[in-house]
């Protein structure tokens, strides 16, 4: 159960994907947005924070796997390209070793 703070009303956390009630002690993922202000010392001051929705651990895991398998979630930028290049070199070397062992 949660408390929305302003009115003091209690509510159940419900997974927006499977609609199951998330019980106390269970792990959940919460998507939220926040209004923040950068400070002079490099920190961030959170002015307001709003929870948008919650996911149970099972549904969050499934969504992540689906995103990775559908290539909707990829590692962007030069780091990914470097990793792909290294992977290609390793595979070429491995294939050469396999051919030499025949």
Residues 56 and 7 in one domain: yes
Q: How many domains does the chain have?
A: 2
> What is the SS3 assignment for 12?
coil
Model confidence pLDDT, tens digit, residues 61-84: 988 888 777 765 555 666 666 777
Residues 38 and 52 in one domain: yes
Residues 44 and 81 in one domain: no
Least confident of 14-18, 34-38, 47-51, 93-97: 93-97
pLDDT attached to residue 2: 47
Residues 11 and 33 in one domain: yes
Residues 50 and 98 in one domain: no
Band (pLDDT 50/70/90 cuts) for residue 4 is: very low
Percent of the chain with pLDDT over 90: 32
Residues 64 and 80 in one domain: no
Residues 98 and 57 in one domain: no
- 45 class by beta-carbon count within 10 Å (0-12 exposed, 13-18 middle, 19+ buried): exposed
Range of the domain at 89: 75-102
Model confidence pLDDT, tens digit, residues 38-53: 999 989 999 998 888 8
For the record, the structure tokens of 102 come out as 């025949």
pLDDT attached to residue 74: 57
């Amino acid at each position: 159960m949660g408390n929305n703070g302003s009115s003091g009303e209690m509510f159940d956390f419900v997974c927006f994907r499977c609609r199951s009630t998330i019980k106390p002690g269970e792990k959940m993922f919460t998507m939220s947005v926040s209004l923040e202000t950068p400070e002079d010392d490099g920190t961030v001051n959170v002015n307001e924070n709003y929870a948008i929705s919650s996911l149970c651990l099972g549904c969050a895991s499934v969504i992540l796997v689906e995103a990775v398998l559908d290539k909707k979630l990829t590692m962007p930028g030069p780091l990914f390209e470097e990793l792909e290049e290294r992977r290609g070199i390793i595979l070429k070397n491995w294939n050469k070793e396999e051919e030499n062992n025949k």
